[in-house]
Amino acid sequence: MPINSLLYPSNVFVPTAYNVDNSCRFNDGSSDHMFKTASAGNRRTFTFSTWFKRGQLSTNQQFFTSYSAANAGGFAYMQLEAPESGVIGDRISLEVYGTILLKTNQVLRDPSSWYNLVIAVDTTSGTANNRCRMYLNGTEITSFATRNNPDQNFDFAYNQNSVDLVLGSNNYGGNKGNYFDGYLAETVWIDGTQYAASDFGEFDDSGIWKPIDVSGLTFGTNGFYLDFENSGALGADVSGNTNNFTVNNLTAIDQSTDTCTNNFATINPLNVNPANTNTFSEGNLKAVLNGEGTTSTMAMASGNWYMEYKCSGNITQWTGVEEINSLISLQYSSATKSVALYVGGATMYVNGANQGSGGYGSGWSSGDIGMIAFDADNARVYFGKNGGWWNGSSYGASSPSTYVTATTGKTYYFRFVKGGNTTCDYEVNFGGTQSFAISSGNTDGNGYGNFEYAVPSGYYALNTKNLAEYG
């Protein structure tokens, strides 16, 4: 079983018998959230379960809230917390107005993996510590930074008649804010039953916590099950209760195949120089880089891998691959363990050496979509643009043709670095979720991904299922 630690361990998932096909991406900069009005339900006994993957870190972010009045029984919320003075943030808490009931010691700052959170409440219990229970990745948390048990038979704001239940936002005084940023999957609300984590997941033979089918649970009056499989109605409840949510600023592009059973790569907001003021959004698929670069969250030691990126804003992107044990370089010229193409000047650098600008094309402009195919077994990097691959003289080949060779026998990330003295906008697509609109909808040979252009034969989207097979 996973071990609790300060930096709480996230799961590295392997293929499972039960698959979760979709998640929903929430972007705090777009005020993404959803809500519904509750009927009279059980305000003393309930359970919330969700699988989540972090986007932005170190801000107050609400999972699930309800508000009717500025008092303990009229305001309740579950959240990821921002750092406080002298205290590290990114802890999970359950709170009512003016009182923290539970706050974890554990810090959840891994943007590369999925977590499962279960909060189970039964204030009718005569055992104080059983009234509010919290589980992370299947393990019950028993030691908290803060614990204040509610009085027996305390009534929460949740399940109060004619009061909104809000997913992904605060609702204090009816005002939204503290938006969740990241991905949610398999999101369940139980009205009237205090379930355990084992009702939502199980440990496999390797000790990895994985989801199970929850459709047979008793959901209760206000209970719901959001599987996010209807891109045109992301708030659709599939529990049988028809407790559908109204969505705000969530559209079909926010439906994702990046899930707790098939985790896709994103941009890593932690693999940066903390002195720089970089900005990450859209589920860590969009970045505005003001200094040193960053990488993908997943590495490639073997196999063949494909990704796309869109040139937007200042055309100053340096994109390619970099060794996993290399420090992210300030600039392309000091990147001694990388291969990178500068689209602004069609210049190639290999291990810090300028290969010249004449042979790598020209005429890149805002809106162009770059393509990278990486053969990790042979350390060969192929570059493409708008559906054509570089063939030694132009981007005209229908499949990967002319390659640049990195150092063999190494493990690599996809690499993203700002060029020049201006900020650089990155929009990337690893296939799970899109930061930019896709018109074509191409998948790899395993049926994974959603790409603008055809994935080369034998190349795959960078996700855990493909890595388990080829990586």
User: Domains in the chain, ordered, with CATH?
Assistant: 23-256 (2.60.120.200), 279-470 (2.60.120.920)
The better pLDDT of the pair 312, 124 is held by: 124
CB 315 within 8 A of CB 369: no
Q: How many CB atoms lie within 10 A of CB 410?
A: 18
Q: What is the pLDDT of residues 40-65, one digit of tens each?
A: 999 999 999 999 999 999 999 999 99
Q: How many CB atoms lie within 10 A of CB 207?
A: 11
Q: Which percentage of the chain shows pLDDT scores above 90?
A: 75
Q: Beta 317-323 vs 304-312: how paired, if at all?
A: unpaired
> Cα–Cα distances in Å, from 406 out to 127, 344, 352, 377, 381?
61, 21, 11, 11, 7
Cα 39 from Cα 353, distance rounded (Å): 66
Mean pLDDT of 185-207: 97
For residue 319, the cross-strand partners are 341, 416
For residue 306, the cross-strand partners are 373
* Residues 6+ away with beta carbon under 8 Å from 230: 236
pLDDT at residue 312, as a whole number: 80
DSSP secondary structure of 88-114? ----EEEEETTEEEEEES-B---TTSE
Tell me which of 106-115, 193-202, 311-320 is least confident: 311-320
Q: Please give the structure tokens belonging to residue 105.
A: 């010691």
Q: Please give the structure tokens belonging to residue 60.
A: 């107050």
pLDDT at position 252 over 70? yes
Cα 85 from Cα 103, distance rounded (Å): 16
pLDDT at residue 243, as a whole number: 98
pLDDT at residue 358, as a whole number: 61
Q: Report residue 162's pLDDT band, with 50, 70 and 90 as the boundaries.
A: very high
The model's pTM is: 0.94
pLDDT at residue 161, as a whole number: 98
pLDDT at position 7 over 60? no
pLDDT at residue 335, as a whole number: 55
* Tokens 């005429």, located at residue: 363
pLDDT at residue 72, as a whole number: 96
Cα 365 from Cα 68, distance rounded (Å): 51
Determine which helix (DSSP H) or strand (DSSP E) holds 134, and give its type and residue range. strand 132-136
pLDDT at position 13 over 70? no
